[in-house]
Structure 1
Amino acid sequence: MYKTDSIQQKMKLFLLILFPILITQLGMYAMNFFDTVMSGKAGAEDLAGVAIGSSLWVPIFTGVNGILMALSPIVAQLSGADKKEDVPHAVQQGLYLSIAMAVIVMIIGYFLLDPLLAMMDLEQDVRSIAKFYLVALSTGIIPLFIFNLLRCFIDALGHTRITMIIILLSLPINIVSNYAFIFGKLGMPALGGVGAGVASAITYWISCFIIVGVTWKVRPFASYSIFTQMKKPYFKTWWEQLKIGVPIGFAIFFEVSIFAAVTLFMSAYDTATIAAHQAAINFASFLYMIPLSISMALTIAVGFEAGGNRDRDARQYSFMGIIIAVGMAILGGVAIYAFDDPVARMYSDQTVVIEMTKHFLFYAIFFQLADAFGAPLQGALRGYKDVNITLVMAFISYWIIGLPSGYLFANFTSFGPAGYWMGLIIGLSAGALTLLFRLISIQKQK
């Protein structure tokens, strides 16, 4: 990051930061995308099992990763305030915190996974695939959290192309591993949907080794001596990061978990409905990587300017990001409408699943428009380190408004399972509106 004097300079810098983040996010989500698509080719039970497993894992991962994302505004503001000597301590303590949180997640999963799956009305094969998909994936949780923590450090310094390159190197590994372990190729056993979890864990380990090596040996990151001058854990710094990170993590968790909750409610329907819902939500979530990437870029840009008390510049970045996100969402909606049939056929060869997927994709057009407003607003607010009110707004919008309205539409109207998608649209729209008012309020105060 560096200081800019005009809108044109800001646009150029913002796009330079944004593009690698977008490629990185698309690459990371592509791993889940290929898990889902390739599992679907193994069978509807495998697709449904991975769907259920993902619905449990993704909210947990994104929530914890949201906590680790506290490092981005911390490093960005330290850089903007010319306090670079304080960066190594923040990163090292973040590493300790990421490992501790990974261990906690694995311990909780060990005790709660079977009871959670037993609560769902699932076919035995689907339940078994979901369980062992998550067991296999869990062997890569520690390196995954380390990778994301170091990624926040690298991105906050403005070097977003580094993580883009790492993900682009890792994606082929994930695809080949999926091919080998799902279908039993290259001398590996055919594990079906469970093989997708094995492939993900392998990819997480390789990505972690690469980013650790980059941070250790490549300048300018090596100059921070993250690994050569390690200090002992310092719980006061953990607490300072948690005060920022926990609200971010829970706000993300409330948003992502509503999608997971809908998937769990979908378990009351047949396997074809679960598979179609997962296919549609998987593709729509792939498009969500665009506003999410803009959100992450805004956290860096707004944090840098806010750290240097350049409030006018921070405000300009905020609304620049929102405008870009909405424009891209309109294009995304047109693409979904025009290519719904080819998209649906990527996930399944079964006619009933294809037709239901196309039906769900129509609703995805509208809630991804709401996301185009909400995600950049969250990113800008994180740049200001304004996270507590955002947490409350997220909970009310998604869980008090969105999910109950979806339940009513699904069970008391003719919408059927599509009623849950109506609830998603309502919840995301309410969240975006409240976040806009909050951002305007913060900027007026400054």
Structure 2
Amino acid sequence: MNLKKYTSEFHYNFQLAIPVMIGHLGHVLVGLADNIMVGRLGAAPLAAVSLGNSFVFIVFSLGIGFSLAITPLIAEADGEKNLDKGRKLFQHSLILCAILGLTMFLILLIASPIMRYMDQPPEVVALAMPYLKIVAFSMIPLMVFQAYKQFTDGMAKTKYGMHATLLANIVNVILNFVLIYGLWIFPRLELVGAAYGTLISRFVMMIFMIWILNSREKFKPYFKWLHLDEIKKQLFGKIINLGFPTAMQMLFEVGVFTAAIWLAGTMGTIDQAANQIALNVSSMTFMIAVGLGVTATIRVGNQKGLRNFSELRRVSLSIFLQVFIIECIFAVAFIALKDFLPMVYIDNDAVVNTAASLLLIAGLFQLSDGFQVVVLGALRGLQDVKIPTYITFVAYWIVGFPICYILGKVLGYGSQGIWIGLLAGLSISAVLLYLRFNYLTNKLIEKGQNGNRI
């Protein structure tokens, strides 16, 4: 195999991916700032953030997953040089995302009392309830932001989302300092302060994104509002047909991690806090893979618009190789730093020791987790979403979670058993998704394309 034809793409892949990585990492860093600052208050507040965010992550996964459908549609229109098609797709997507953001907010408000019946520590539930109700409202600005961000990603202009999330993180950290601990004229609000910091920072992120894009001549034609006769049910249907399965894929993956949080919560505050630390650390490295996954969606979508399927496969394989090398490095880092990383979050020996054992396993599933999200991105660029949805459901819920429950709860391996189950689910997903990609791309090439445009 001639590796150079794949490694030669690494630089351009990174050019597209790095702003996306930083942008998605920004979402995680909001949680990281909350976790580190709240962790100084004790194990129960940290576990409460974990429990509250577990609800947020479920609806957040639906929203983010749905918005990811915008990117391949815009990338295909951009590859075709069809501005009017891109404009109409974006405007319809923005309407759907705004409606979805409001729906997510209402779902979280209605669902929040459920945590009282989940066999979680009472002191954790008491702290988590007010935190969740405030963060729930941030779903509205977050989804409007996502519509704009996924549009710019599809246009291969990934830096704007990065700038917005970096600004949001600066705002969040400042607000956390003054509202969690109570500085200057501000009262000490503890967890509620962290929630207000997240809410305000997401409004800042949305407003900045709208302002910066409207100030760029390249994007102005896309922001010309639709006339009533331009609003088409067919376009809404096209976006929903791609967005709904994508949202389900995200829901199945985030759902199994959320279920792991809840399962760890039934084992006590120590296990739940340790589980949150391991998840948060893993989420940060996962964002690197997410960036490359979006790159795969953009580049595959462009090549699909050009109908150059041989080049589509070559570019995709270059991204798969790139993420595998990166995740190998992360796996080594997790194992080497397993005793140090938990101490960044909390000064509690029991929590630190438990989290260190989880990071050993997390180091191994870096490979599976990173690889599967990039292959999913490539399949999304092909607009193949239904079969991958079935694959993720089987991998996470037929294989992964039963192993989590049996090893963690039934056989008594605790959090370690839960994470072994997560590793199994991610590995099955990675293998099956790659087989799907391999089948589809070979089939496209065999249909007479052989790398030629048609």
Shift of 1:78: 0.7
Given residue 435 of structure 1, which amino acid in structure 2 is its aligned partner?
Answer: L
Deviates more, 1:347-356 or 1:377-386: 347-356
Instruction: Name stretches of at least 5 consecutive residues in structure 2 with no aligned partner.
Output: 445-454
Residues 13 and 219 (structure 1), Cα distance of their counterparts in 2 relative to 1, 3 Å cut: farther
* Map of 2:451 onto structure 1: none
Cα deviation code 1:6-51 (max 9, x no counterpart): 7676433222111111121222211111111111112211101000
Task: Check whether the contact 2:74–2:154 (CA below 8 A) recurs between aligned residues.
Answer: yes
Separation of aligned partners in 1, 2:419 and 2:336: 20
- Check 1:316–1:186 CA distance in 2 against 1; reply closer, same or farther (3 A cut): farther
1:18–1:293: 8 Å Cα contact kept in structure 2? yes
Worse-superposed segment, 71-80 or 103-112: 103-112
Cα drift, residue 177 of structure 1: 1.1
Q: CA deviation at 1:414?
A: 5.1
Task: Tell me, in whole angstroms, the C-alpha distance in 1 between the residues paired with 2:346 and 2:138.
Answer: 28
Distance 1:169 1:109, change over 3 A: closer
TM-score by length of 2: 0.93
Q: TM-score, normalised by structure 1?
A: 0.95
CA distance, structure 2, for counterparts of residue 139 and residue 111 of structure 1:
12
Amino acid corresponding to residue 219 of structure 1 in structure 2? E
**Aligned twin of 1:113:** 112
Q: Return the letter of the residue paired with 2:111.
A: L
Q: Residue type of the partner of 1:268?
A: T
Residue 171 of structure 1 is matched in structure 2 by: 169
SS of the aligned residue for 1:165 comes to helix
Shift of 1:285: 1.3
Per-residue CA deviation, residues 250-277 of structure 1 (Å, 9 max, x unaligned), is 0111011100001001111121111111
Q: Which residue of 2 aligns with 1:354?
A: 352
CA contact (8 A) 1:322 1:372 kept: no
d(CA) in 2 for partners of 1:59, 1:411 = 22
For residues 411 and 137 of structure 1, do their structure 2 counterparts lie closer, same or farther at Cα, with a shift above 3 Å needed?
A: closer
1:180 aligned residue? 178
Contact 1:287–1:332, Cα closer than 8 Å, also in 2: yes
Partner of residue 448, structure 2? none
1:422 and 1:7 map into 2 onto residues whose CA distance is 32
Larger displacement relative to structure 2 (381-390 or 91-100): 91-100
Shift of 1:103: 1.6
How many residues align? The count is 438
Aligned residue in 2 for 1:98: 97
CA contact (8 A) 1:64 1:249 kept: yes
Q: For 2:192 and 2:328, how far apart are their aligned partners in 1?
A: 36
> What is the Cα deviation at residue 176 of structure 1?
0.7
Match of residue 34 from structure 2: 35
Partner AA of 1:42 in structure 2: L
Structure 1 residue 416 displacement after superposition: 2.6
**What is the CA distance between 1:236 and its match in structure 2?**
2.9
Rounded to whole Å, the distance in 2 between the matches of 1:265 and 1:340 is 22
Distance 2:300 2:357 in 1: 39
Contact 2:105 2:138 in 1 (8 A): no
Q: Which amino acid aligns with 1:15?
A: F
Deviation (angstroms), 1:111: 2.1
- Structure 1 letter corresponding to 2:61: T
* Aligned partner letter, 1:428: L
What residue number does 1:265 align with?
263
Q: 1:268 to 1:8 in 2, by over 3 A?
A: closer
2:14 aligned with 1:18, yes or no?
A: no
Tell me the alpha carbon deviations over residues 184-242 of structure 1, each in whole angstroms, 9 at most, x when there is no partner. 12422222222221111101000100111122221311232x1x434345433222101
The residue number in structure 2 matching 1:52 is: 51
Matching residue within 121, 124, 136 for 1:123: 121
Kindly report which structure 2 residues correspond to 1:58-77, keeping only aligned pairs within 5 A, or say none. Answer: 58-77=57-76
Correspondence list, 1:350-429, <5 A = 350-413=348-411, 415-429=413-427
Contact 1:42 1:182 in 2 (8 A): no
Judge which range, 396-405 or 178-187, deviates more. Answer: 178-187
Q: Is the 8 A contact 1:215 1:221 kept in 2?
A: yes
For 2:124 and 2:420, how far apart are their aligned partners in 1? Answer: 27
Distance 1:138 1:258 in 2: 21
What residue number does 1:199 align with?
A: 197
Question: Could you tell me which residue of structure 2 aligns to residue 284 of structure 1?
Answer: 282
Which residue of 132, 138, 141 maps to 1:140? 138
Q: How does 1:228-307 map to 2 (within 5 A)?
A: 228-232=224-228, 233-307=231-305
* Preserved CA contact (<8 Å) 2:13 2:292: no
Name the stretch that deviates more: 18-27 or 354-363.
18-27
Q: How does 1:333-352 map to 2 (within 5 A)?
A: 333-352=331-350
Separation in 1, partners of 2:103, 2:164: 27
Q: Distance in 2 between matches of 1:36 and 1:235?
A: 43
Could you tell me which runs of 5 or more consecutive residues in structure 1 were left unpaired when the two chains were aligned. 1-5
Letter in 1 for 2:29: A
**In the alignment, which residue of structure 1 is the partner of 2:86?**
87
